[in-house]
Amino acid sequence: MKTEYIRKNVHQESKIYILPNAFTAGNLFFGFLSIILCIQGKFNSDSARESITQVASLITPSNASISNSTGYYLLAILCILASFFCDALDGRVARLSGKTSLFGKEFDSLADSVSFGIAPCLLMFFLVLQPIEGMKDSYSNLLKNTGWLIGFIYMLCTAIRLARFNVLTNPYILGHEKYELGDYFSGLPAPAAAGTVASIALTMLSLNLQGIIPILLIPLMLLIAWLMISNIPYPSFKHINWTSSMRFRSFVALIVGIMLIFILREYSFAIIFLIYVFYAPLKYLPRGVKIISYKIGKIREKNK
C-alpha cells in the first residue's frame, strides 16, 4: 500500500503549473539579471553605459551623482527587489489556485538560492567587502583577508535556511503543518534578508556613502546571516489577502508603511526591511532572557 501511495502521487507532485511557476521563473530571471548587472558594474564593460545611467537616474535624487558602475548596481538592486515580489506572489498564487506541488517548492528554493543567495552576496562583495580608495589600511587589510569569507558565510546561511525550510514543510514529514500552514517562519526568511541587504545598498548608493557605511554593514550582514538559521519566529503574512482582518495598530502600521514608500522613496525600503528584521528578536528578547536565566539556574543547581 505504501508503494502504491508513492507511485500515485509522483505524477501529481511533479506537475509544472504554469502561473505559479511563471512567477518563480521571474524570480530566477531577475536574480540572474542582478548578477550580470553586478559584474558589469564592477568591470564596466557593457556598451550600453549611457542608457543604464539614464534609467538609474529615475530612482535616485536629482542631486545625486551617478557613475556608470553605480547605475549598474542600482539596477541590480531593483532586480533583487523584483525577485522579492515575484517570490511573494508565486506561493500565494499556487495556494489560491490550489496548484501546489513538491516540484514548485523545490523550484522555488533553487530560484531563491540564486536571487537571495548569490545575487545579494555578489552585490555586497563588490560594494562592501572589497577595499576602496581612501579606506584606512587596517580596514583595507581586513577586507582583503576576510571579505570573501564573510560573503561565503552569508551565502552558506542562505542555502542552509532554504534547505531547512524544505525539510520542515515537506508534506510527507509528520508535523509539517506547523511550519507550512502556520503564521510564522522559523528564522528570518531568505527573501527578507536579501531585501534588507539590497535596500541598504540602495540607500548607501543614493547618499554616496560608499566610504562610510561599509564597515558598519559587515556586522549587520553577519547578524542577518545568523538570524536566517536561528529559530526566532518571524511573521509570514502568507495568509493575508483582501478579505483578511487586522488589528487597529497593524492597520496603522500598514498605512504608515505605504506613506513611507511615497515620501521617502528609495530610503523607505531599508526602513521597512530593518523594522521586520529587528521586530522579532526584540519582541522575543525577554523570553530568551528568561530561558537563559532558567538554564543558568539549572547548571548552578547541578554544580552545588
Mean pLDDT of 124-149: 76
What pLDDT does 167 receive? 86
- The CATH number of the domain where 67 resides is what? 1.20.120
> In degrees rounded to 5, what are phi and psi of residue 137?
-60, -35
pTM (two decimals): 0.79
Name the residue with cell 499556487.
94
Q: At what angle do helices 214-228 and 266-283 cross, to 10 degrees?
A: 50
Mean pLDDT of 21-35: 93
- The C-alpha atoms of residue 139 and residue 130 are separated, in whole angstroms, by 10
What pLDDT does 159 receive? 94
CA atoms within 13 A on the CB side of 110: 9
Residue 278 is assigned to a structural domain of this protein: no
Which DSSP string corresponds to 205-264? HHTT-TTTSHHHHHHHHHHHHHHHTS--EEE--TT--TT----HHHHHHHHHHHHHHHHH
**What is the span of the domain harbouring residue 132?**
2-243
Residue 271 is assigned to a structural domain of this protein: no
Q: Kindly report the average pLDDT of the chain as a whole number.
A: 79
Residue 63 is assigned to a structural domain of this protein: yes
Residue 52 is assigned to a structural domain of this protein: yes
Bridge partner list, 185: 234
What pLDDT does 126 receive? 87
Residue 269 is assigned to a structural domain of this protein: no
The number of beta carbons lying within 10 Å of the beta carbon of residue 262 is 8
Tell me the H-state helices in 130-213: 137-168, 177-180, 190-206
Residue 40 is assigned to a structural domain of this protein: yes
Residue 296 is assigned to a structural domain of this protein: no
What pLDDT does 15 receive? 72
What pLDDT does 1 receive? 41
- The C-alpha atoms of residue 84 and residue 272 are separated, in whole angstroms, by 14
User: Is residue 106's pLDDT more than 80?
Assistant: yes
In the chain, the number of structural domains is 1
Instruction: Find which of 67-81, 123-137, 144-158 is predicted with most confidence, using mean pLDDT.
Output: 144-158
> In degrees rounded to 5, what are phi and psi of residue 183?
-95, 5
- The C-alpha atoms of residue 304 and residue 247 are separated, in whole angstroms, by 49
Residue 118 is assigned to a structural domain of this protein: yes
Buried b or exposed e, range 19-45, using 16+ CB within 10 angstroms: ebbebbebbbbbbbbbbebbbbbbeee
Is 185 strand, coil or helix?
Answer: strand
Mean pLDDT of 262-281: 85
The number of beta carbons lying within 10 Å of the beta carbon of residue 220 is 16
